[in-house]
Structure formats: C-alpha cells, structure tokens
Amino acid sequence: MKNILLNNGVEMPILGFGVYQIADQSLCEQCVYDALMAGYRSIDTASAYGNEAAVGRAIRRSGIPREELFVTTKLWISDAGYDRAKKAFTKSLELLQLDYLDLYLIHQPFGDVYGSWRAMEELYKAGRVRAIGVSNFYPDRLVDLILHNEIVPAVNQVETHPFFQQVESAALMENRGVQIESWAPFAEGKNNLFTDGVLAGIAAKHRKTVAQVVLRWLIQRNVVCIPKSVHKERIVENFDVFDFELDAGDMTAIAALDRNESSFLDHRDPEVVAWLCNL
C-alpha cells in the first residue's frame, strides 16, 4: 500500500474503501469486513450515510488493531456550527465505537462552516482527531477557509474521475498543501465508464479491468481514492492495483476523456444548494 503524507505529517493510505449508499446495515457491515480482510486499512463513511454503526461493528469484528486503521467520517450540514459540530463528532465516535478519528471532514460547504471549523480545530488540538479537512469545497471556498483560519485543511474530498479530472483544482490544492481525495472514482458508471473504448483498450493492454485502470490512474496522479462495491470479488479486485503501472501514453489518453464538468451536481447551483441544505 502506498501512503500519502498529509500536511500535518499524518500518513493516509492512498486507496481506501467507501460506504456511500450502502444503507442496509448488515450488508454494510459485511462489505467493510470483506474490505478489511482483503487488505484495506482506510474506511470512509459519513453521518449522512446512516451506516457509521455498521462500520464500527465491522471494525470490531475484524480484530485489526486500531492503530493500523485510518477511519474517516463527515459532518453534515444540519450539524454545522460550533456546538452542534462537537455534539455530532461525539455521536459519530459513539456509533463507530472508537476513541478517536483519523480524519473528520466538513461534508458540504454550507451552513455555519466557520463555527464547525473552529470546533474541529479544537478537537484536533485535543487529540481526538488526527487530521481535519473538507469535502466538496470548490477552490474559492477552500482558499477562503484557509485564509481566515489557523489550520489548513489536510484533505479536500471532491468528485474526481476520468470525465471530471479536477486538474486545475488539484494543482491549487497541491500549492496550498491540501490533499485531493476522489469520491465517485468510477463516476457511478455514468457516461458508460465501464465500457468506454479508451479505458477498455488500456485495460486489455495491461490485462486488468477498467475499474483497476481508473484506480491506478488516480493513484499515479497522487489522488486518494475510496472505491465502493457491495460485491466481495470486486472489493478484492479494486485492491489489486499495485502490480502494474500506466505509461505516459495511457495517462495522456485518459487525460483526453476529461469533460471538465460534474457528472452529478453543481455546488454553485442555487437549487442544488437548497436541496442539499434541506436534506
């Protein structure tokens, strides 16, 4: 496993397992357990996913020492603000059955972001979380947060996949010392990602799957990725990406797939903002 060094010296696995949209508690627990048995040591969840308790049960069931794991969860909009953020953090820890978190993220750039960040800075200084960061922050929101607070976010988790590569945003994050992390690395199959001719051709060349090629492409760009699957064989397959390397031609071909637009939603669209804030 390749680790990424965050801006505070904490190491984070470049490949983890995500549990977005695994609402069934038993299924989520089994998937996380399967991922841990396959070798994953980084697990990404969120309070909004409603499955933190299932993740916690899987971690306990695995018997893997806590210090070997990297656990991320996120603060939802309805819990934004100084006091509410601290309460939400404690609730997440209780559901996960953990004494500390490795990474705590502001899930969306809405609500009382600054009150939340002050609370998170205090939690970080108290040693209750090893690193703090954000998710879905466009460059302007990220820079604004950095300039008006003491601690620079360690991570910004944003939509990143072959059709939305975040090249300029990634460069800005690197310049500011913020690690980019991909959500939806497979674009949830949109734009026929799994049958795309370019990706399929590269996969055949390396005797790998399209999913493995996409993850390898992200890893070679130093983008942390958290693929999700509810199928054990694919969970194992997605972890098997460290025994090959894409060449310059492969990377150039994938770069040409970039549409430079979200495949899901625009966080600057007023209707999207209203929808997210009312969830």
Residues acting as catalytic residues? 49
Measured between alpha carbons, how far is 177 from 153 in angstroms, rounded to an integer? Answer: 8
Distance of CA 211 to the CA centre of its chain: 17
**Region class of 106: left (phi > 0), else alpha (psi between -120 and 50), else beta:** beta
Q: Is 279:49 a contact under the CB 8 Å cutoff?
A: no
Distance of CA 194 to the CA centre of its chain: 21
The angle subtended at Cα 260 by Cα 154 and Cα 186, nearest 5°, is: 70
Token pair of 116 as six digits: 């939340």
Q: Is 4:224 a contact under the CB 8 Å cutoff?
A: yes
Q: Is the torsion defined by CA of 87, 112, 145, 43 positive or negative?
A: positive
Q: What letter would DSSP give residue 153?
A: P
**Region class of 183: left (phi > 0), else alpha (psi between -120 and 50), else beta:** beta
Q: What is the three-class DSSP state of 135?
A: strand
Measured between alpha carbons, how far is 260 from 165 in angstroms, rounded to an integer? Answer: 7
Question: Which helix (H) or strand (E) is 43 found in, with range?
Answer: strand 42-44
Q: Is 48:23 a contact under the CB 8 Å cutoff?
A: no
Q: Is 50:23 a contact under the CB 8 Å cutoff?
A: yes
